[in-house]
Chain A
Amino acid sequence: MNPLIVSHVSKTFNTKAGKIAALCDVSLEVKPGEMFGLLGPNGAGKSTLINVMLGLLTPDAGEVRILDQKITPDILRQINIIAGGSYFNGELTPNDILKFYAKVYRIPNPAKRINDLAHTLKLDHLMNRKFNWFSTGERLRVAFAKALLNNPKVLLMDEPTLGLDPDVARTVRKEVQELNKTGTTILLTSHYMHEVEQLCKRIAFIYQGKIVDIGDVKKIKLKRFATYDVILTLNKKPSLAFVKEHELATKGTKVKATLSDEEALSNFLAGVHEAGYRVQDIAIKKPTLEDYFIKVLGEQQ
Chain B
Amino acid sequence: MRLGNITAVMQNDARILKNSKWHAIEMFYFPVFNTLIWGFFSTYSKQYSAQAGLIVLIVNMFWTFTHLAQQEANMLVMEDLWSLSIKHVFTSGVTPFEYLFAKLASSAFIAIIVTSLLIFIANAFGAPLYLHLAQVIAISGVALIGSLALATLVSGTVLMLGKEYAFLSWSTLELFVFFSAPFYDPSILPKILQVITTIMPFTAVFAAARALATNTPLTKNILLSGLYTALAYFALTLIYYHFCIKHARKSGKLARISS
Contact = CB atoms under 8 A, between A and B. Distances in A.
A74 interface: yes
A83 interface: yes
Most interface-central of A47, A57, A130 (chain B CB within 10 A): A57
B83 interface: yes
Interface in B14-71: 15-16, 19-20
Given A56-B254, A57-B255, A92-B15, A73 B83 contact: no
Contacts of A96: 12, 15-16, 19
Nearest to B20: A91
B94 A73 contact: yes
A57 B91 CA distance: 11
Interface residues of B, number: 35
Contacts of B254: 56-57
Given A81-B91, A146-B88, A103 B4 contact: yes
Given A88-B85, A92-B19, A51 B252 contact: yes
Nearest to A79: B91
Contact of A76 (B4, B20, B84, B91): B91
A14 B252 CA distance: 10
A77 B98 CA distance: 15
Interface string A91-116: 11100100111011110000000000
Contact of B93 (A13, A73, A87): A73
Contacts, number: 96
Given A92-B15, A100-B11, A104-B8, A87 B84 contact: yes
Most interface-central of B15, B20, B259 (chain A CB within 10 A): B15
A81 B255 CA distance: 13
Interface in B122-157: none
A84 B20 CA distance: 26
Given A57-B255, A100-B12, A103-B4, A76 B83 contact: no
Given A88-B85, A92-B19, A104 B249 contact: no
B11 A103 contact: yes
Contacts of A235: none
B83 A90 contact: yes
A130 B79 CA distance: 15
B255 A106 contact: no
Contact of B252 (A57, A88, A92): A57
Q: Which 10 A/B pairs are nearest by Cβ-Cβ distance?
A: A51-B255, A87-B84, A103-B8, A77-B93, A73-B93, A91-B19, A56-B255, A100-B12, A89-B83, A76-B93
Given A56-B87, A90-B83, 17 more contacts: A13-B252, A22-B252, A51-B252, A54-B91, A55-B249, A56-B254, A58-B246, A73-B95, A83-B87, A89-B83, A91-B15, A99-B11, A99-B15, A100-B8, A100-B9, A100-B12, A101-B88
Interface of B: 2, 4-5, 7-9, 11-12, 15-16, 19-20, 79-80, 83-85, 87-95, 246, 249-252, 254-255, 258-259
29 contacts: A47-B255, A47-B259, A54-B255, A55-B91, A55-B249, A56-B87, A56-B249, A57-B249, A57-B250, A57-B252, A73-B2, A73-B94, A77-B92, A86-B88, A88-B83, A89-B12, A89-B16, A92-B15, A92-B19, A96-B19, A99-B15, A100-B8, A100-B11, A100-B12, A100-B15, A103-B7, A103-B8, A104-B4, A104-B92
